[in-house]
C-alpha cells in the first residue's frame, strides 16, 4: 500500500475534491430524469469541503458553466446560478456544523430554496402575474421538486460519503481541525 505523508496536504485534498466533483458533473451529462442532477449537491459540497471560499464557489460553478455549454444556454441561467451560489453558502455553514442531521437539513433547505427561487422566476417570465398564476406555476413544478430533492439527497450522500471514505484511506487529505480560541 502506498504511504502518504502524515501531515495535511492541500494538493491531495484539492485533487480528491476535483475528482469527486468531476464524477458528479459527468453524472449531469448522462441521461437522467429532469432535475435529478448533482449540481445542487455539488454546490453544498463545495461550500462545505473547501477552506478557501473562492474555491468553494469555483469548483461547483465552473463545471456548471462547462456542462451548460454542452447542454444549452437558457434565459434562467442567472437565477439558477444564483440559487446554486446560495447552496454554496449553505454548505459553508456545514463547515462548522457537519453532522448527518445538519447535512440532511441543509440538503432539504438547498432543494427547497432552488425550487422556490427558480420557479418564482418562471412565474415572472411565463405565467400570469396573479396569485392563481403563481399557484399554477408551483403546482406544475412539484414533480421537478421531487426529483431535485431526490437527486440532491443521492449526490450529497455520494459526495460527502466519498470524501469521508477518501479521508480514511488517505489521511493526508483531512483538513486539520482548528480549535476555537478560548477567552
DSSP state of 47: H
The domain locations on the chain are 10-173
pLDDT digits (tens, 9 = 90+) for 22-53: 887 788 889 999 999 999 999 999 999 988 89
CB-count exposure of residue 134 (10 Å: 0-12, 13-18, 19+): middle
When pLDDT is cut at 50, 70 and 90, the band that residue 60 belongs to is confident
Whether 3 has a pLDDT exceeding 50, the answer reads no
Q: Is the separation of the CB atoms in 95 and 48 below 8 Å?
A: yes
C-alpha cell at 101: 442531521
SS3 content of the chain, % helix, strand, coil (to 5): 75, 0, 25
Q: Is the separation of the CB atoms in 48 and 118 below 8 Å?
A: no
C-alpha cell at 122: 418562471
Looking at domain 10-173, its CATH architecture is Orthogonal Bundle (1.10)
pLDDT digits (tens, 9 = 90+) for 118-138: 999 999 999 999 999 999 999
pLDDT digits (tens, 9 = 90+) for 134-172: 999 999 999 999 999 999 999 999 999 988 998 899 888
Average pLDDT over residues 110-116: 98
Whether 80 has a pLDDT exceeding 60, the answer reads yes
Place of cell 481541525: 177
- Find the helix or strand (DSSP H, E) in which 61 lies: helix 53-71
pTM: 0.88
Q: What's residue 182's pLDDT?
A: 56
When pLDDT is cut at 50, 70 and 90, the band that residue 179 belongs to is low
Amino acid at each position: 500500500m502506498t504511504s502518504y505523508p502524515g501531515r495535511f496536504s492541500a494538493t491531495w485534498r484539492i485533487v480528491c475534491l476535483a475528482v469527486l466533483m468531476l464524477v458528479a458533473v459527468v453524472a449531469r451529462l448522462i441521461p437522467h430524469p429532469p432535475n435529478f442532477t448533482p449540481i445542487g449537491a455539488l454546490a453544498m459540497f463545495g461550500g462545505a469541503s473547501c477552506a478557501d471560499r473562492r474555491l468553494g464557489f469555483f469548483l461547483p460553478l465552473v463545471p456548471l458553466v462547462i456542462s451548460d455549454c454542452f447542454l444549452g444556454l437558457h434565459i434562467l441561467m442567472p437565477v439558477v446560478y444564483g440559487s446554486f451560489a446560495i447552496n454554496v453558502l449553505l454548505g459553508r455553514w456545514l463547515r462548522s456544523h457537519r453532522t448527518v442531521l445538519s447535512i440532511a437539513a441543509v440538503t432539504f433547505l438547498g432543494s427547497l430554496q432552488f425550487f422556490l427561487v427558480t420557479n418564482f422566476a418562471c412565474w415572472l417570465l411565463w405565467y400570469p402575474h396573479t396569485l392563481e398564476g403563481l399557484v399554477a406555476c408551483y403546482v406544475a413544478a412539484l414533480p421537478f421538486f421531487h426529483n431535485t430533492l431526490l437527486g440532491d439527497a443521492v449526490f450529497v450522500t455520494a459526495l460527502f460519503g466519498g470524501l469521508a471514505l477518501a479521508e480514511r484511506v488517505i489521511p493526508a487529505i483531512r483538513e486539520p481541525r482548528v480549535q476555537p480560541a478560548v477567552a
